[in-house]
Amino acid sequence: MDKLEEREKLVKKELSRLRKLFVDIPENKKKVSEGLMIQAARLRILLNDLWQDISKNGDYELFSQSENQEPYERERPAAKLYNSRDATYHKVIKQLIDLLPEEKQIDPQVVTDGSDLL
């Protein structure tokens, strides 16, 4: 199985989990919620990949513009991308939670717990 197929399989698994968590979204909001759930599932899988990279290679790297310049530490592009995607992921989850009826609201921590995908 190649990387894309593996990723798609994980996205489908996460999408299924999200659909179960957000089953109480009213019918008139289902089309909007479906797009948000797909985006959240994709983001979560991408975040997991980035987390593995950051765990292995760290947040910072030595960088130099030229051979003559002293290297300095800079944030790795993967770490920047992780932070950006993580913020977007949490916004999408908040939007999904807001689509639920008041009496069916769920804790964001339940949704964002990533232990089942690692």
Q: Which residues of 68-99 are buried (b: 16+ CB within 10 A; e: fewer)?
A: eeeeeeeebebbeebeebbeebeebbeebbeb
Low-confidence ranges of the chain (pLDDT < 70): 1, 114-118
Q: How far apart are CA 72 and CA 66, in angstroms?
A: 11
| Length of the chain measured in residues | 118
Predicted pLDDT of residue 47? 96
Structurally, the chain folds into a number of domains equal to 1
**Domain coverage including residue 79:** 3-117
Among candidates 14, 15, 29, which has minimal Cα distance to 95?
Answer: 29
pLDDT for 72-103, tens place per residue? Answer: 899 999 999 999 999 999 999 999 999 999 88
Predicted pLDDT of residue 116? 55
Predicted pLDDT of residue 104? 83
DSSP 8-76: HHHHHHHHHHHHHHTTTS-GGGHHHHHHHHHHHHHHHHHHHHHHHHHHHH-SEEEE-SSTTSPPEEEE-
Predicted pLDDT of residue 118? 42
Among candidates 85, 64, 81, which has minimal Cα distance to 73?
Answer: 64
